[in-house]
Every structure is written in structure tokens, then in C-alpha cells.
Amino acid sequence: MLPGRRMRLFACEVCGEFGIFRKYISCLLCLLCLQGCYKVGPTRLDRDQSDYSRAFTSSGKQQTLLNVIRLRYADTPGFLDTMQVISGYQLQRSVSFGVGSSDVTRPYGGVGAQMQESPTFTFQPVTGDAYAQSILRPLPPENLLPLAMGGLPIDVLFRLAVQSVNLINNTTAMGREVGHGSPEFFDLIYDLRILQLSGLLGIQLERSLAKDVPQDRVFLSVAASDDPALERVAREARHFLGMTDDEERIEVVYGGGRPKKGQIRLLTRTILGVLGQIAYQIDVPAVDVTSGRTRPTISPIGRETKPIVTVHVGRKRPEDVFVWTTYNRKFYWVADDDFDSKLAFTMLQILLELSKTSKGTSAVLTIPVNG
């Protein structure tokens, strides 16, 4: 039997420790409730959407630049489409508590949480019929010219994707006439850009039935102007296009050579031709040319002397770049402060997307969350 005073002191100690223990348990239960209310999915939606959007765009630009460099050195270009992205999250939570005693009774416990991420990517190489249709098929004029209606500079568009207008040839990077072209081509696209900026250049799409099959027809119009300077530009553009001075509208058809009356023949390039045109304008180290690893750089002719896209090369990783890649232990990049090159490269990306003819589903992003 404990004396009465000692019994009262022991009871007070037990009651005091039990009060602390009860408060501790209450805190743990509150934390457990908060953990149960926390949802991973809604908090990750906007962040994952923007993050993966940036990642898709960045990887696409790098793949395009790498293929341009590959063509510069007669290497095989390769295209890999992202078909599916599964980014899974798992939230694990644990709560523990108990009571330990030696001389003094004390509660103990803890709360833990762990987040796990397991992304899975599915890629598909572009081969066979998809490769032929997307990379080796010339861009139809009815798909190409409407891009100018959306505000894209028509001079850059023609430099990238048009090989000839009637008998006026753009610079070529392939075949027997490498580097050859007509200075008048750059005069024409310069005039077309002025007319586009002044609102005098128009492009119309019409759908007609030929043998009960719907066909798109595209027309180009050059409006008259009361401004003498703009009217001179309009007359010069009509002359290059084979239009009469009083003719304001003419049909654009695919093909090369001399056109029929009332038509403009537009010989468009394939995506492979567009990439090759950019590739052979890259100023590579002289030793790569003298050693036979690649051909000399093709310089633009006529009014325009700058490359469509200026690609730099060096041994050190660049800073402040729009896009960069590596090839054969060298760095290649487009500078972030070169707006003209960035605009042309962005238009190249648009043409790549436009050339895709596969009817399969595009990239699917799936984010399962276990919490």
C-alpha cells in the first residue's frame, strides 16, 4: 500500500500525462483529416498541362534542328512522333502513435507522406506511307497560301516552301542546279510582302465540284491603289506573275514551267526540300568542306543575302538560345535575339504540322493519380 500523499502525486502525474497524450492524439487526427482532404489531381492539372506543352514544343524544335544538321552532312533524317504520355502520381500517407513508459509515461507518434511520380512515354517513328505522305509529298498550294491569310509573312513562306513561280526559280539545295536561282524571285516576294502589309494582296479559297468530287481552288488577287508608289509595286508584281495590268485576280495551281492563261504555276517543295534548303545555308567550319564531309554553303542571291534561318555552330554550349542541339561533338543553335530566324523556324514547325496526313490520334496525355 502506498501512503496517501504518494498515491495522490502518482495519480496527478498519470492524469497530467494523459492530458498531454489526449492533446497529441487530437493533433494527429487533425493532420490525418487534412491529409485525407488533400487531392493531387486538381493541384497538378494546370502545372502539368503547361509543363508538358513546353516540353512537347521544345522537343519538336530540337528534333527539327537536328534533322536540318543531319541533312547538312548527308546523314539520314529521322522523325519520331510522341503518341502517348502517362504521368502517374502516387501519394502515400502514414500516421502512427503510441504510449511508452519507463519512469515517466510519455506519448509518441508521427505523420509521414511520400509523393511518387512515374511518367511513361510512347513514341512512334514516321515510316512507310506516313513518311512518304508527310515528308516526301509537295505541299499543296491550297494548304500553303492560306497561311499568308493568317498573317505569316508571305516572303518568308515562299522562301521556305516554294521552288518556283512560273519560270522564276528560287535557290535550290539539291540536284544538278545547286545554288542556282533567279534574282527576280526575291524581287517578287519582296513586292508581295509590301502588298501584303498594305492590304492589297488577297488570297481566296473556293470549293468546286469536279466529277462530283469536291476540290479546293485557290486564287491570288492584287488590288489597285491610289498611292503611286504602291501602284508601281502592284504593276511589277503582276508582271512577275504573268498578269495583265488591269487583271486583279488569278488562279494558283500546282506545277512548274510556263502557265496557261489565267493561271499561276506554283511549284511547292516537300518538307525534305524545305529542311535541305535551310541545311545548305548553314555556315559550317571550313575543314568540314575541305575534308569532304559536306558541301560548300549556298549563299542567297539577288535582293536577299541573309540565310532563311541563321544557325550557329561552336564547341561550347550556347547561352540564351531559341533552340539548340548537338551533332558530332559540336553545338548548333538559333540565337534568341535573332527574330527573323526565330520567325522562319517557327513557320517551319507550322509547315511540319501541316504536312502530317496521318488520321491517327494525336498525342494523348494521361495522368492517373493514386492518393
The pLDDT value recorded for residue 154 is: 96
Residue ranges per domain, the chain? 138-269
Task: Average the pLDDT over each of 100-109, 133-142, 240-249 and give the range with the smallest value.
Answer: 100-109
pLDDT in tens, 190-205: 999 999 999 999 999 8
Please give the full DSSP string across 196-213, using - where no structure is assigned.
HHHT-EEEEEEEEEETTE
| Cα torsion 225, 230, 236, 242: sign | negative
Contacts of 55-61 spanning 24+ positions with Cβ under 8 A: 56/82, 56/363, 58/323, 60/349, 60/352, 61/322, 61/323, 61/345, 61/349
pLDDT in tens, 222-232: 999 999 999 99
If one counts every other C-beta atom within 10 angstroms of the C-beta of residue 135, the result is: 20
The rounded radius of gyration (Å) of the Cα atoms in the chain is: 33
The pLDDT value recorded for residue 314 is: 92
246 torsion bin: left (phi>0), alpha (psi -120 to 50), beta (else)? alpha
The pLDDT value recorded for residue 82 is: 72
Mean pLDDT of all residues in 69-87: 83
Q: Which residue has the higher pLDDT, 358 or 81?
A: 81
For the cut 60, the answer to whether the pLDDT of residue 367 exceeds it is no
Measured CA angle at 164 (ends 301, 242), to 5 deg: 105
For the cut 90, the answer to whether the pLDDT of residue 187 exceeds it is yes
Q: Which of 299, 308, 302 is nearest to 343 (CA)?
A: 308
The pLDDT value recorded for residue 227 is: 94
The DSSP output letter for 320 is S
- Three-class DSSP category at 37: helix
CA distance 324 to 282: 14
For the cut 60, the answer to whether the pLDDT of residue 331 exceeds it is yes
For the cut 80, the answer to whether the pLDDT of residue 279 exceeds it is yes
Residue 14 pLDDT level (bands cut at 50, 70, 90)? very low
For the cut 50, the answer to whether the pLDDT of residue 122 exceeds it is yes
The mean pLDDT value of the chain amounts to 80
Mean pLDDT of all residues in 99-105: 60
Cβ neighbors of 130 (< 8 A, separation 6 or more) are: 357, 358
The DSSP output letter for 32 is H
The pLDDT value recorded for residue 173 is: 59
For the cut 50, the answer to whether the pLDDT of residue 150 exceeds it is yes
The pLDDT value recorded for residue 171 is: 82
Task: Average the pLDDT over each of 116-120, 259-263, 266-270 and give the range with the smallest value.
Answer: 116-120
pLDDT in tens, 15-64: 444 455 555 556 555 555 545 445 555 666 667 667 777 887 888 899 99
